[in-house]
Structure formats: structure tokens, C-alpha cells
Structure 1
Amino acid sequence: MRWEGISEFVCVAEYGSFTRAAKALGISTAQVSRQISALEERLKIKLLYRTTRKVSLTEEGRVFYEHCRSVLDGLNAAEQAVSNLQSKPQGRIKLTAPVTYGEQQLLPLINDFMMQYREIEVTAFLSNQQIDLVEGGYDLAIRIGKLRDSTMMAKKLSLRTNFVCATPAYLNQYGVPRTLDDLSQHNCLLGTRDYWHFVEDGTEKNLRVSGTIQCNSGYSLVDAALKGLGIVQLPDYYVQKHLASGALVSLLDDYREPKESIWALYPHNRQLSPKIRLLVDYLAERLV
């Protein structure tokens, strides 16, 4: 009796919907509702606020959810530990990642991973949009920078650095910017935003810049910078080889913002899957 309604309650808490929880559990919405009502009656506690538009946890429900989630995770871990003794990682992994980072850094490693683990299949969707993992049925997301969704589990995979750079020829012609104010005298090649990130006197700041080119393709911006059309700010994986060869020169290093973290993000209810853990660990060991 003490287990009845627990899985249904946790699922509703995580999906925020009776209908979506029922679909995930493979049962009817009415059955989910009955089980949770019976659970609340047994506990003599209201666990959920229900309206026609949304479902949310009460204060007591939030406390109960945290404990139930831990119990279910422990049960899943026990089942998985036994299963792992007689099986190897297999099945499909559905993941999403930013477009350029996915193309340049991630997917080549995933291809190597799949050569090693032939029983695993991967569906990858590259997008710069913040996709809802639960709603989209994703097992894993690769995200860069500060995380917004605290309901997900996260593991840091690597770090990235943004560089401001230009060609020696451009700098010989227009001068080398020594301070952030100097950028107002230069042609700044823009991405999707009209500001760049810096740190000045220990404080992070967004500096509005301007130029004759704005494009949502990092490759195009690198090409423009290499042709001497202006100064660019881009992540290391766009410009590292050009900095190493001397084709581009790093600028304003004293104002460089802190390195951004690159994360593997995954829903609570999939954190113990062996194939997910295997892929995440594989990426963490090889991403630099």
C-alpha cells in the first residue's frame, strides 16, 4: 500500500501535467488522478495544486517529492545494477547540442563512441534553441554557459574560451585596441547579438559594439576576420588554429571573460541509464 501512487505522483511533479504523466507511464489520466488522490488521502496532506491550466507542488508536496525521487532513483539503481551484470550498453540515445559545437567537437567523438559500442544507436538534433528535454523525449542535451533549468541533472564536460582577434594586416592598418573604449574606433564583426562579453575591474560586462557585418554564422565571421575586414569575438574552437598559425592575433586578453562551462544535461528519470552514463563519461574524458 505504501508504494501506491508514488510513481504517479513523481511523474506528475516532473511533467507538471496529469496528461503528460499518464502518457509517460502508459496508463490513463483518470488512473493517475485516482492514485494521487488516494495517496493524498492516505497521507492526509495536499501534495498538488490543481488548476485548469497547470499543476504545481505544494510546500509539503515539494518535500515529499524530493524524498520519493531519491527512493525511486535507488530502486532504479538496484534494478540497473542487476541488469548490468548480464547485459552490455545498448539501445537508442536521443540528444541535442548547439549547431557549431556539435558539428566540430561533439559528433566526431560520438561517431568514435559508436564504433566502440555497436549496440548503441544515436539520434542527434543540432539546434541553438533551448529545447525542452522531457517534452521532446530527449535523453541528453549539451549546453554551454550558465544553466537555467534546475530540474535537470548536469555534469561538466569541458570549458571554452572566447577570443577577440584580428589579422596582423588589419591591426597594422587600423591600430591595436588596448582598452575596451578603443573598440568604438574599430569595425567589429557581429554575430546574433550587438554586444561582446568582457571583464573589467573584476566585473563582467556586456559591451555594445558595431560594425559593417552581422551574421549568425561563426564560420562566415572567421572568414571575414581572416580577410582583414574587422575584429571578431568567437569561441576557441572557431579560431584556435588561426591563432596558432599567426593568421589571427589575440587582443584585449586582460579583459577576457572567464571560461564558460560545457555541460551534459539530462532528466532526473534517465540519470542512471548505463548507456547515457557511458556516453557522458566518454565525452568528459575526451573533450578539452
Structure 2
Amino acid sequence: MGQWQGVAEFVAVAETGSFTAAAGRLAVSVAQISRQISALEDRLGAKLFFRSTRKVVMTENGGVYYQHCRSLMDGLEEAERAISDLQSTPRGKIKMTAPITYGEENIMPLVNDFLLRYPDLELHCELSNQLDDLVTQGYDLAIRIGKLTDSAMMARKLASRTRYVCAAPDYLDRYGIPHSLAELEQHACLLGASDFWRFQEAGKSRNVRVVGRIRCNSGYALVDAALKGLGVIQLPDYYVRAFLDDGRLIRVLDHYREPEEGIWALFPHNRNLSPKIKLLVDFLTKQLAPGLSEAPNKQA
């Protein structure tokens, strides 16, 4: 057992780049992390990290040792998953992340339904629009929207979303319906975090700068402003679908609308066979887009 002492602490420091972050991941004190690393270095007779007041960097020996330890940890996790596979009920912890609004409206209600089915599962979910690194943060699963760029991840498509440009009928009666992208200059555009709206023209993507007197990083606040006739919005379908259906908002510039974007489940390569994660992803896919329930995994 002595050969395993300090290995989990070493891997956590190597992947987070911080004794404090490693302590947070393992739910132990920083002092314990430091003691275990020092004892491990003494046992190996080699320095594994360069330490300073600002950062921790692996030595060459540390890098070599990490590759072997990571393989051992992956093997141990795989062995635990194999045992879990034999259990009739999935159990253990799932750590996941999702975008704030889409997570609140679409993902978490379904995850809560999933947890009702499997009472032995424990969930830790972080709703954030920050694209955190799954491996260093210890996530089993992340929900991402749009183009995927991280080739270290496996991906499964859950659903799609569409962005609509729309406004209230009374606004369009007063100011007219825009028929071209150039006409947006004549309208009060309700802005989010970006000054640009995304379109497709003649088969090519195009970003158009828009202006307006209202800017807010809340999609719900912008929808409220549009419903009150204060301007034109561009937002994903899950913000505006109900209002488009009941006629309180009207779609415009549809012929410039971008193609649908994918909504994805991402997970690290070494965790993609976890039965509980596969069950959750299958459940989300079936609920969000039944036609995609048998879609294969792909590399991000």
C-alpha cells in the first residue's frame, strides 16, 4: 500500500498546477498535500515539482512519473467502473457542468428526473458560461453549445438550437420590418455581451455590428424589453420559442439565419465508458432529441 501513498495527491497537483486546488479536489488540507508530496519525493529520491510563491511546475522527472501515474489512476478508475457495471443500480458521484441559462431551463430539470430514478447517485453540477477544462477540474461531463474545439474530449450530440431575430408586433408596426442586414442600422437592437450578431449570407457566415441603447447580459431581460416594444433581439430558440408560438414576437430576417448549432455532451476519453455517465447522456438525448438517441460518439 505504501507505493500508492502520495500518488493521488501528486496527480491532483500535476493536473491542477496548485497545491491549494489539489487540496480542494481531494477535500483535504493543503498541509496534507504538501506532506504527501514531500514524502513521495523522499521515497523516490527525485524532485517532482519546482515550487515558487506563484506557481508549481513539474520537473522532468515529475513529467515522466505523471504519465505512469495517470495510467495507473485510469486503470484503477476503470477497475472500479467494471465493478460498478456489475451492480444493478448505478451509484457514486457525477460531477458535471453546463451553461447557465440552458442548464437552468433544459438540463437540470431532466437531470433531477434522472436522479429520481437512481437514488444512489450523487450530483455536483456547476452552471457556468466559463469553458473550464474538464480534466483539471475533475468533471465527468460537460454540456457545450456550438462549435467544438477540444480534441481531447469525446462528444455526443444531444440536440440543436437556432438563433432567431425577432421583435414585438407593435415595434414592427411603428418602425417597419427589416428586410436586409443593412437595415438593422435603422433599428433599436437589444444587445447582450457582444456588439455583433451572427448571420449567414450567400452561404457564408457573417458578423454584423449592431447598436442600441439597451445592453444586458441576461437573455430574459432582453426578451422582456422586446416584448415591451423596445427593440429587436437575436437570441436562441429556447428564450423566444413560446413567444413566437403565441405571436407576441415576430421573426424577421429568416433568410439570413445561421444553420442550427449542436448542443453536445462532452466527456474525457478515459471516462467515456462510465455506466452512470452513459446512462445520463442516453437519458438527456432521449428527452431533448429522441431522433439522436442512437447517435455515435465523436471526438471533439
CA separation in 2, counterparts of 1:286 and 1:133?
A: 24
Per-residue Cα deviation, 1:254-277 (whole angstroms, up to 9, x for no partner): 110011111111122222221111
- Percent sequence identity over matched residues? 61
The equivalent of 2:132 in structure 1 is 131
Match of 1:165, SS state, is strand
Shift of 1:287: 1.2
The equivalent of 1:247 in structure 2 is 248
Per-residue Cα deviation, 1:232-252 (whole angstroms, up to 9, x for no partner): 000000000000000000111
Q: Are the equivalent residues in 1 in contact too, given 2:16–2:137 (CA < 8 A)?
A: no
Match of 1:247, SS state, is coil
CA separation in 2, counterparts of 1:71 and 1:243?
A: 53
Match of 1:210, SS state, is coil
The equivalent of 1:197 in structure 2 is 198
The equivalent of 2:92 in structure 1 is 91
Shift of 1:80: 3.6
Matched, 1:209 2:201: no
CA separation in 1, counterparts of 2:224 and 2:137?
A: 35
Could you list the runs of 5+ residues in structure 2 that have no partner in the other structure? 1-10, 27-32, 38-54, 56-69, 290-300
CA separation in 2, counterparts of 1:168 and 1:242?
A: 11
Match of 2:200, SS state, is strand
Q: CA RMSD in A?
A: 3.9
The equivalent of 2:257 in structure 1 is 256
Matched, 1:280 2:277: no
Q: Are the equivalent residues in 1 in contact too, given 2:84–2:91 (CA < 8 A)?
A: no
CA separation in 2, counterparts of 1:151 and 1:14?
A: 14
Matched, 1:159 2:170: no
CA separation in 2, counterparts of 1:182 and 1:198?
A: 14
Q: Are the equivalent residues in 1 in contact too, given 2:220–2:239 (CA < 8 A)?
A: yes
CA separation in 2, counterparts of 1:82 and 1:236?
A: 42
Matched, 1:108 2:100: no
The equivalent of 1:186 in structure 2 is 187
Q: State the TM-score, normalized to the length of structure 1.
A: 0.76
Match of 2:139, SS state, is coil
CA separation in 2, counterparts of 1:137 and 1:11?
A: 9
CA separation in 2, counterparts of 1:14 and 1:259?
A: 35
Q: State the TM-score, normalized to the length of structure 2.
A: 0.73
Number of residues of Structure 1 aligned to a counterpart in Structure 2? 284
Q: Are the equivalent residues in 1 in contact too, given 2:165–2:233 (CA < 8 A)?
A: yes
Per-residue Cα deviation, 1:178-231 (whole angstroms, up to 9, x for no partner): 111111111110000001000000000111011110100000000000000000
Match of 2:87, SS state, is coil
Amino acid at match of 1:110: V
Amino acid at match of 1:161: T
CA separation in 1, counterparts of 2:72 and 2:183?
A: 58
Q: Are the equivalent residues in 2 in contact too, given 1:76–1:272 (CA < 8 A)?
A: no
CA separation in 2, counterparts of 1:84 and 1:155?
A: 21
The equivalent of 2:239 in structure 1 is 238
